[in-house]
């Protein structure tokens, strides 16, 4: 099956639901490829030991008044030195997790992923820009999850393209 990408895009602009679906799925697959590439790069960042100031959860904007409508994200603050230069970081992980009130335990589990030793925390920093850092560099689970989402997006895109072709 060979379909001209320009034709798919033109048909999507014309409102063809299969073409729109194929474009959305292709975009999702491309986003997953970028995410895998980024995860690979962060995995190879060097680390230093820093001092953790804050590690907890904070409420983000809520869409309603009930407890179940509230959303939370992890909140961290830490300091570290790279080559004699002091930095302050606020990023926990490249994978931002937002959880509902009832699923806050997911954030607690993520915070437990911070590696600690002798009262200090491991800080992974970007070699070309040490001001960019994370306390968690990722995991095999994140890679498998991203690769699975990429495979699903490719399969969905292929299915939409088949529907367009015939």
Residue with the larger pLDDT of the pair 26 and 4: 26
Q: How many of the other CB atoms lie within 10 Å of CB of 109?
A: 11
- CA angle 98–103–108, rounded 5-degree value: 75
Q: What is the pLDDT of residues 73-125, one digit of tens each?
A: 999 999 999 999 999 999 999 877 888 888 888 888 889 989 999 999 999 99
- CA angle 148–156–1, rounded 5-degree value: 120
pLDDT over threshold 70, residue 11: yes
Least confident of 29-33, 68-72, 109-113, 152-156: 68-72
- CA angle 104–110–112, rounded 5-degree value: 110
| pLDDT at res. 160 | 92
Tokens read off for 125:
């920093």
**Using CA atoms, how far apart are residues 96 and 89, in angstroms rounded to an integer?**
15
What residues does each domain of the chain span?
A: 5-42+145-165, 46-136
Q: Which residues contact 44 (CB under 8 A, 6 or more apart)?
A: none
Q: What is the pLDDT of residues 49-74, one digit of tens each?
A: 999 999 998 888 766 667 777 888 99
**Using CA atoms, how far apart are residues 39 and 28, in angstroms rounded to an integer?**
16
């Amino acid at each position: 099956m060979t379909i001209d990408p320009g034709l798919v895009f033109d048909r999507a602009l014309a409102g063809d639901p299969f073409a729109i679906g194929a474009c959305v799925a292709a975009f999702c697959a491309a986003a997953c490829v970028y995410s895998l590439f980024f995860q690979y790069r962060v995995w190879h960042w060097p680390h230093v030991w820093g001092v953790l100031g804050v590690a907890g959860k904070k409420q983000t904007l809520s869409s309603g008044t009930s407890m179940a409508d509230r959303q939370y994200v992890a909140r961290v603050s830490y300091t570290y030195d790279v080559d004699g230069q002091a930095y302050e970081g606020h990023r926990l992980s490249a994978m931002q997790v937002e959880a509902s009130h009832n699923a806050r335990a997911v954030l607690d589990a993520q915070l437990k992923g911070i590696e600690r030793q002798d009262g200090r925390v491991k800080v992974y920093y970007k070699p070309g820009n040490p001001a960019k850092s994370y306390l968690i560099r990722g995991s095999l689970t994140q890679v498998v999850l991203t690769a699975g989402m990429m495979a699903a997006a490719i399969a969905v895109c292929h299915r939409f393209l088949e529907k367009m072709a015939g």
